[in-house]
């Protein structure tokens, strides 16, 4: 942003008219380049990240009893009970853990069937 402002302010008031038109063209190219960089960043970084977050939120909203899931910490378990914000998962034998839905990242029930 500072580079953009600096390139715009480079036009000197006492310079000949030809020198100012050259600077204006350079300033326009700078603005176009910044626009292109922002577009590329949006296409390759922000857009895929939003898509991934949306898919993860849909996964968490569709959780049901019997789904096999993995937590952020790498704990594998089967869902026993689903409430609004938490999930009770059966880890091993009679061991059950109550975790926040935001801590679930993956459904591995379909992967086991293949």
Domain boundaries in the chain?
A: 2-59, 64-113
**What is the average per-residue pLDDT within 15-34?**
69
Sign of CA dihedral 90, 95, 101, 103: negative
Check pLDDT > 90 for residue 69.
Answer: yes
CA distance 54 to 111: 21
pLDDT of residue 45: 87
Conformation bin of residue 49: beta by default, left when phi > 0, alpha when psi is -120 to 50: alpha
pLDDT tens-digit profile of 27-60?
Answer: 889 999 999 999 998 888 888 989 999 999 999 9
Residue 98: which residues within 8 A CB-CB, separation 6 or more?
Answer: 86, 87, 88, 89
Check pLDDT > 90 for residue 113.
Answer: no
Q: Which of the two residues, 15 and 98, has the higher pLDDT score?
A: 98
Residue 102: which residues within 8 A CB-CB, separation 6 or more?
Answer: 60
CA distance 28 to 96: 62
Looking at CATH, the fold of the domain delimited by 64-113 is given as SH3 type barrels. (2.30.30)
């Amino acid at each position: 942003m500072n580079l953009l402002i600096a390139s715009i302010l480079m036009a000197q008031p006492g310079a000949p008219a030809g020198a100012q038109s050259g600077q204006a063209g350079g300033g326009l190219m700078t603005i176009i380049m910044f626009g292109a960089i922002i577009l590329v960043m949006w296409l390759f970084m922000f857009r895929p990240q939003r898509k991934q977050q949306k898919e993860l939120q849909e996964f968490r909203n569709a959780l049901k009893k019997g789904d096999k899931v993995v937590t952020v910490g790498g704990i594998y378990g089967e869902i026993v009970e689903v409430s609004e914000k938490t999930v009770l998962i059966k880890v091993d034998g009679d061991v059950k853990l109550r975790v926040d839905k935001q801590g679930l990242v993956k459904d591995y029930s379909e992967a086991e069937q293949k």
